[in-house]
Amino acid sequence: MLFLLIAQLVATLGKIVFLFAFVLTVVPLLVWAERRISAWIQDRKGPNRVGPAGLLQPLADLIKFLSKESFVPERAERFLYNLAPLLMLVPALMVGAVIPWSKPIPPDSWIGYWLSAVDWAPEGIPFQVIDVDIGILYFYALASLGVYGVILAGWAANNKYTLLGGLRASASMVSYELSLGLSVVVVLLMTGTLRINGIVDWQQGAWLVFYQPLACLTFMVTVFAENNRLPFDLAESEQELVGGYHTEYGGIKFALSMLAEYAHMAINSALIASLFFGGWRWFGLEDRLPWWATLLLFIGKALFFMFFFIWVRWTFPRFRFDQVIHLGWKVLLPMTLGNAIATAVALVLVERSGWPLWPVVMAGQVVVVAGAILGSTIQTRRLQARAAAS
């Protein structure tokens, strides 16, 4: 009995350690990848001196950060100033707890054997730190907490540029949260479950992105905005606000806030992969793969979306602030709301009439997109007419 309890404890601890190890391994790689990929996109060389292909550059950066003086600006709110980078990091790591990383570890694998999983988890040990009943709402709740780190970092440093960065960030994050929530609602409607495990199981045959490309698109756009990544990085827009909310941070605290940003990116990529791209599943092939292969598959998918984040950052220019707010409230919100309604109607139709699911759901999305295009055309016409009249 005691042994089983210890085995369960070890399994949970192992999963937590894996989560931290994943984030702490992937973040330096991402920093390196961002610099190399941006160099590649801009036809430069990028860091290539420290280690093979510059791979040890993040380590050199870390040593630099650690050896710098850790200062607090005069007249800053000391406590909040020190707290803010942690507040940015913690929600990102907490979201990682609900992501299923691979298929359940079977009892006859060596880990399962070693923990005698036959006795307490005959179906296999789920590779997910906690399988909460409200999985995706948990993600949404923590995503809405991410704004505190940014707004407090901006305010506590007592600098008008950081304050402007923080206020911009909070305004855009609160605006995009609504669309994020409505995109998530579409996922719930389709899969009928809140548990991320259940959502991944639903995608056994085909990924959700094939049913809901619109929801996937809006989800990704809003995640970019929540993350303050480039088309939406008004919070730090370095050309206007010096460096945004972390202007006044130096040394290890700056490193922490960067760690938070990239950890957000890594975890959100993993989440996009699980919600819309089948998680650790690959069209039924996963049944024949060992569990560690599905883990690698999932990490591969997540890495692709991290690459996608970087790719977008170095391809698109930044929006103006009014454009960000306009996009959030006047384009994304009606579209996601329309999509939620259209999906609900489509699902009821399918249930009542027995029509196939895919064409009905797609038709709903086509209607929503057509409505959005029509609406924006009318709006543009009206604005042009007004401009011509005045």
Residues in contact with other proteins by CB under 8 A are: 77, 80, 132-134, 137-138, 140-142, 144-145, 147-148, 151-152, 155, 163, 166-167, 170-171, 174, 177, 181, 194
Q: How far is the CB of 85 from other proteins (least distance, A)?
A: 15
- Measured from the CB atom, the residue of 54 and 154 that comes closer to other proteins is 154
Cα distance between residue 232 and residue 230, in whole Å: 5
Least separation in angstroms between CB 155 and other proteins: 6
Nearer to other proteins, 57 or 170 (CB): 170
Q: Could you count the other beta carbons within 10 Å of the beta carbon of residue 189?
A: 18
Q: Give me the least distance between CB of 154 and other proteins, in Å please.
A: 8
Contacts (Cβ under 8 Å, ≥6 apart) of 99: 128, 196, 267, 270, 271, 274
Q: How far apart are CA 367 and CA 240, in angstroms?
A: 39
Name which of 77 and 240 has its Cβ closer to other proteins. 77
- Of 156 and 208, CB closest to other proteins: 156
Q: How far is the CB of 97 from other proteins (least distance, A)?
A: 14
Closer CB to other proteins, 73 or 181, in the complex? 181
Of 204, 41, 6, 263, which is closest to residue 119 (Cα–Cα)?
Answer: 6
CA 19 to chain CA centroid, Å, is 15
Distance CA 185, CA 37 (A): 34
Minimum CB distance to other proteins, residue 144 (Å) = 3
> In the chain, which residue ranges form alpha helices assigned H by DSSP?
2-41, 57-67, 78-95, 110-114, 117-120, 135-156, 160-191, 196-202, 208-211, 213-227, 251-276, 291-313, 321-326, 333-353, 357-389
Distance of CA 186 to the CA centre of its chain: 17
Minimal CA–CA distance to 32: which of 53, 6, 14, 58? Answer: 58
Q: Considering beta carbons, is residue 81 or 298 the nearer one to other proteins?
A: 81
Q: How far is the CB of 2 from other proteins (least distance, A)?
A: 16
Contact 146, 88 (CB under 8 A): yes
Q: State which residue, 50 or 132, has the beta carbon closest to other proteins.
A: 132
Instruction: Kindly report the backbone phi and psi dihedral angles of residue 112, in degrees, each rounded to the nearest multiple of 5, phi listed first.
Output: -60, -40
Judged by CB, which is closer to other proteins: 170, or 203? 170
Q: How far is the CB of 386 from other proteins (least distance, A)?
A: 18
- Residue 132 corresponds to which tokens in the numbers above? 């909460």
The structure tokens 């996937």 sit at: 216
Least distance from C-beta 245 to other proteins, angstroms?
A: 12
Instruction: Output 60 or 188, the one with its CB closest to other proteins.
Output: 188
- Closest approach, Cβ 156 to other proteins, in A, equals 9
- Residue tagged 């040990």 (tokens): 125
